[in-house]
């Protein structure tokens, strides 16, 4: 049985062979503990880790000392959100976020609410964008932190982070940005964006799973966080634990490759994405784009198919690997919280499919997937009470 065409790159990506090549020596030859400072094995491991740190810092316009290695974006988000809130606030302090954030942001905010913090979750418009003015109005006295993602994992919609950051700076509020879906796909520069904290991960950019990073601004004024973990004081005291040297080496190499390929790959993926969109919507009625038509990731298109049950459509698309939403909530039968926040009905949210393309996808893949989607949607709509007898 042949493998389905993979169009779920926002969930994860295969590890690039060049990344594997960079990681292998760290597992067999240069296997030392980077915290072992008394012998050559530890020195070699530390040198490799610092080279990876430099690569990541360069890739987002930061300094090496501003990069903290973690186990992934979820840990980075938790460290940024809880660490900043605990360092700067107390029960009653206000923290602000957006309704379309990933659960790895929303859940830490819920945890802060249980600790007595005042949590504000802001609404978005119909394309998933947050109005910077709404954010500014929510940053009342006593606010210590805001968290807004750069690119949405389900729709690809890009938030106006520069304007949001300006509003935060004007009010003396820290801004955390979950850039997990953006780094390596679009240019990301922490200074240009104006963010104080930024999370990203390796496995979204053809690196290994289980490794991520958090940018923590160290320039004046220096930013302090309360660590989540105690024990050893690694990573400048912010993330104790033996460093995953193979993982961080792979992470650094993966971002280096992604940045080298970005100018060409961004154009190619945008063309494939738009071709997939047109090939489906030009042949089917009742198909709605979820997300901003222009301000979105080059690889992502999320479509809602009226009159169709999304679960049945996913089952019918055996030759395609796609998703109905975030990989982290795919086991949850509830409609996407992102699409509901954008004003979609439960029925339309449940009838939505995310296509996220990647390096291995071709124009032939796009045509094959479009044909399969049109065929299955037409079949499911025939006689469906959800479609109401309209022509498919």
End-to-end CA distance of the chain: 31
- pLDDT value at position 392? 44
The model's pLDDT over 98-121, given as tens digits with 9 standing for 90+, comes to: 999 999 999 999 999 999 999 999
**Contact between 217 and 198 (Cβ < 8 Å):** no
List, by residue number, the catalytic residues: 328
**Contact between 236 and 214 (Cβ < 8 Å):** no
> Mean pLDDT throughout 75-93?
96
pLDDT tops 50 at residue 278: yes
The model's pLDDT over 45-80, given as tens digits with 9 standing for 90+, comes to: 999 999 999 999 999 999 999 999 999 999 999 999
Provide the total of helices (H) and of strands (E) in the chain, helices listed first.
12, 12
pLDDT tops 70 at residue 197: yes
Q: Is 279 exposed, middle or buried (0-12, 13-18, 19+ CB in 10 A)?
A: middle
pLDDT tops 80 at residue 217: yes
Ordered by where they begin, the domains of the chain are: 5-12+262-381 (3.90.1150.10), 17-256 (3.40.640.10)
Tokens found for residue 193? 């964006």
Distance CA 264, CA 257 (A): 12
The model's pLDDT over 319-350, given as tens digits with 9 standing for 90+, comes to: 999 998 655 544 556 899 999 999 999 999 99
Q: Which of 322, 327, 258, 304 is nearest to 73 (CA)?
A: 327
Q: Is 126 exposed, middle or buried (0-12, 13-18, 19+ CB in 10 A)?
A: exposed
Beta bridge partners of 119: 95
pLDDT tops 90 at residue 7: yes
The conformation of residue 354, written as its DSSP 8-state character, comes to E
The model's pLDDT over 219-260, given as tens digits with 9 standing for 90+, comes to: 867 889 999 998 877 888 899 899 999 999 999 999 999 999
- List the alpha helices (DSSP H) in 214-355: 245-281, 310-316, 337-341, 346-350
Mean pLDDT of the chain: 94
- pLDDT value at position 219? 83
- pLDDT value at position 35? 81
């Amino acid at each position: 049985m042949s493998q389905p065409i993979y169009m779920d790159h926002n969930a994860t990506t295969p590890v690039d062979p060049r990344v594997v090549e960079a990681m292998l020596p760290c597992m067999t030859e240069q296997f030392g503990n980077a915290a072992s400072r008394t012998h050559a094995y530890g020195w070699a491991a530390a040198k490799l880790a610092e080279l990876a740190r430099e690569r990541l810092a360069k890739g987002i316009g930061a300094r090496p000392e501003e990069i903290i290695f973690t186990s992934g974006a979820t840990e980075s988000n938790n460290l940024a959100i809880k660490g900043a809130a605990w360092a700067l606030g107390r029960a009653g302090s206000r923290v602000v976020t957006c309704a379309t954030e990933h659960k790895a942001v929303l859940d830490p905010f819920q945890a802060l609410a249980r600790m007595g913090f005042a949590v504000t979750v802001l609404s978005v418009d119909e394309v998933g964008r947050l109005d910077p003015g709404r954010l500014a109005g929510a940053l009342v006295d006593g606010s210590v932190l805001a968290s807004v993602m750069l690119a949405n994992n389900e729709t690809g919609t890009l938030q106006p982070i520069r304007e949001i950051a300006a509003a935060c700076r004007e009010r003396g509020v820290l801004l955390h940005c979950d850039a997990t879906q953006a780094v390596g796909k679009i240019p990301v520069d922490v200074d240009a964006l104006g963010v104080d904290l930024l999370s990203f991960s390796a496995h979204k950019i053809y690196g290994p799973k289980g490794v991520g990073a958090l940018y923590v601004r160290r320039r004046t004024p220096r930013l302090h966080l309360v660590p989540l973990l105690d024990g050893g004081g690694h990573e400048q005291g912010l993330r104790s634990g033996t460093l995953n040297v193979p993982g961080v080496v792979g992470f650094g190499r993966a971002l280096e490759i992604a940045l080298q390929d970005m100018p060409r790959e961004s154009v190619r993926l945008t063309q494939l994405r738009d071709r997939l969109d047109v090939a489906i919507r030009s042949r089917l009625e009742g198909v709605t784009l979820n997300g901003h038509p222009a301000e979105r990731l080059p690889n992502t298109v999320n479509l809602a198919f009226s009159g169709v049950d999304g679960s049945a459509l996913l089952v019918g698309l055996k030759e395609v690997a796609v998703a109905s939403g975030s990989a982290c909530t795919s086991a949850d039968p509830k409609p996407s919280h992102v699409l509901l926040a954008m004003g979609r009905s439960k029925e339309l949210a449940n009838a939505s499919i995310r296509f996220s393309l990647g390096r291995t996808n071709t124009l032939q893949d796009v045509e094959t997937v479009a044909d399969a989607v049109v065929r299955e949607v037409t079949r499911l709509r025939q006689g469906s009470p959800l479609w109401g007898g309209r022509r498919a």
